Amino acid sequence: MTDSTLKYPQPTGLNSAGRKLWEATVEDTEWEQHELAVLEEACRTRDRIVQLDAAVASDGVMLMSSQGNRVHPAIAEARQQRLTLARLLVSLAIPPLEEDVLPKANAPRGVYALGGRKGGR
């Protein structure tokens, strides 16, 4: 589906992961402006996760420096972004895409359980 055929045009600057979430989500339901703002942030968060994962894949899990080896800081940030994405999706009552690896809703101290899904999705 092209951007010109979407009921809600994609925000500018989304990468492929964010665009995929936007396209998979917006057409099924009527959205309020504040919900679209939350969805846009979820899409941008999804893009960040992909970028952080790519940095770790490129640089390796451990970074070597003159002060010693340390775990790549993108690992912790990716974990935080996954929590953020899970919470944003839960606030909209929509499920993550199948390829998203997010904390389980029923895990201890995990994200809130999905209630009724918006628009019957």
Compute the distance between CA of residue 45 and CA of residue 58 in angstroms, rounded to an integer. Answer: 20
Q: What is the pLDDT of residue 96?
A: 86
- Please give the Cα distance from 120 to 75 (Å, whole number): 34
Number of Cβ within 10 Å of residue 81's Cβ equals: 21
Q: pLDDT value at position 7?
A: 82
Q: What is the mean pLDDT of each run of 10 residues along the chain (121 residues)?
A: 70 96 89 96 98 96 88 95 95 88 60 48 44
What is the spatial distance between Cα 117 and Cα 94, in angstroms, rounded to a whole number? 6
The DSSP code sequence of 14-36 is: --HHHHHHHHHHHTTS---HHHH
Which tokens go with 104?
Answer: 């389980």
According to the model, what pLDDT value does residue 88 have?
Answer: 96
Per-residue confidence (pLDDT) for residue 120, from 0 to 100:
45
What residue has token string 């070597």? 64
**Per-residue model confidence (pLDDT) at position 90:** 93
For residue 37 the two structure tokens come to 């703002």
Q: What is the pLDDT of residue 15?
A: 97
